[in-house]
Amino acid sequence: MTTQVPKYVEPRTQKMNNVANHLEPWLQLEGKVVFVTGASAGLGREFCLDLARSGCRVVAGARRGDRLKSLCDEINTNSHLVRAMAIELDVTADGTTIEASVKKAWDAFGHIDALINNAGVRGGIKSSVDISEEEWENTLRTNLTGSWLVSKYVGRQMQASKKGGSIINISSISGLNRALMRGAIAYSSSKAAMDSMTFVVSNTYRTNFVYEICR
């Protein structure tokens, strides 16, 4: 008779496995509603296209309505169902305006399963003594405050719906090591703050099945 020796699992790995068991498999995206900010160009546009190909319904939010229309037309032309809706969203606006945009995004398909906070700006590459106050404030307003406000109002809706959801904030390695982008003091500061904000907010939602993560 042989004795089975239990396989040792490093505590951190076990903890990650326990968390993963509560999350849906990555491939089960069919029918999910995903709200993407900064969707009119770059990463945001590509997120929308890839999510639609995976079977998601997409709410595309940005300021440039003509580009959003083009994106949604491209997605919907290749589907017999409406899979993409455009919502005007300016993440530098005040909270009341952003809340109204989030409400429209929620109503587009009746709910939101996931939010991707992608809207952001890099700003100029300048010495910390040369950057203007206006550029500093615009970068933080867009990258940090805007993401917080959209998360706040989407999170409220997710909590009220009792269905939960996921909030994904697009950060940058520059928030971890500013030397990787010398001169981008406002951008790096905004991303470092976003990392911290994400950690704090995720603890707030822990018991409400709303998951907030940073990528």
> Per residue in 141-165, pLDDT tens?
999 999 999 999 999 999 999 888 9
**What does the pLDDT average to over 11-33?**
60
**In terms of pLDDT, which residue wins out, 47 or 24?**
47
How much of the chain, in percent, has pLDDT values that exceed 70? 79
Instruction: Give the model's pLDDT for residue 171.
Output: 87
pLDDT band with cut points at 50, 70 and 90 for residue 207 = low
In this predicted structure, the answer to whether residue 140 has a pLDDT above a threshold of 90 is: yes
Confidence of residue 126 (pLDDT cuts 50, 70, 90): confident
Tokens at 151, concatenated: 């998360």
Query: Which residues on adjacent β-strands are paired with residue 210?
Result: 165
| DSSP letter, residue 126 | B
Q: List the structure tokens of 125.
A: 């590459």
Query: Could you give the CA distance from residue 54 to residue 51 in angstroms, rounded to a whole number?
Result: 5
Three-class SS of residue 8?
coil
Helix (H) or strand (E) holding 192, with range, is: helix 185-204
**Predicted TM-score (pTM) of this structure:** 0.81
- Give the per-residue pLDDT at 188: 87
How far, rounded to the nearest angstrom, does the alpha carbon of residue 34 sit from its chain's CA centroid? 9
67 close to 41: Cβ distance less than 8 angstroms: yes
d(CA 2, CA 64): 68
Ranges 4-13, 19-28, 103-112, 164-173, most confident: 103-112
Just give the CATH number of 29-214.
3.40.50.720
The answer on pLDDT for 71 being more than 90 is yes
Active site residues: 187
Contacts for 47 with CB less than 8 Å, ≥ 6 apart? 34, 36, 39, 116, 118
209 torsion bin: left (phi>0), alpha (psi -120 to 50), beta (else) = left
